[in-house]
Amino acid sequence: MRRHEVPAPLGFCGLKELRFDERPILNLFYRFAPAAWGNGYATEAATSVVGWAAAHQPDRPVLARVRPDNTASHRVAVRAGLVRAPHLDRAGFDGLDWIYATPGSPSR
């Protein structure tokens, strides 16, 4: 994501195809430069990406894995239309991941 007058990217956001509990899912990721935080960019980007997935990959759930203390990331996931799926929470690479998913995603 870029702002027209600024050459450096503000950050990035996208989907990665993964298997989660042996099922194909789209993993939502986002990361923005600290100087760009708090301007709604992550929310705008994640909302657009989740909308794209609904239109083009409707059978694939979108999941976001968020560290429990990452308040901004939780807000981005919710604003993008995902809901908490605590039954899917699990250990990630560096600690517990809380899972957010498109409504109606896998129950296990």
The answer to whether the CB of 22 falls within 8 A of the CB of 5 is: no
Nearer to ligand COA, 38 or 51 (CB): 38
Site map 62..101 versus ligand COA, x via CB under 6 A: ----x---xxxx-xx--x----------------------
Nearest to 33 by CA among 17, 53, 13, 54: 13
Binding residues for ligand COA (CB under 6 A):
11, 30-32, 37-43, 66, 70-73, 75-76, 79
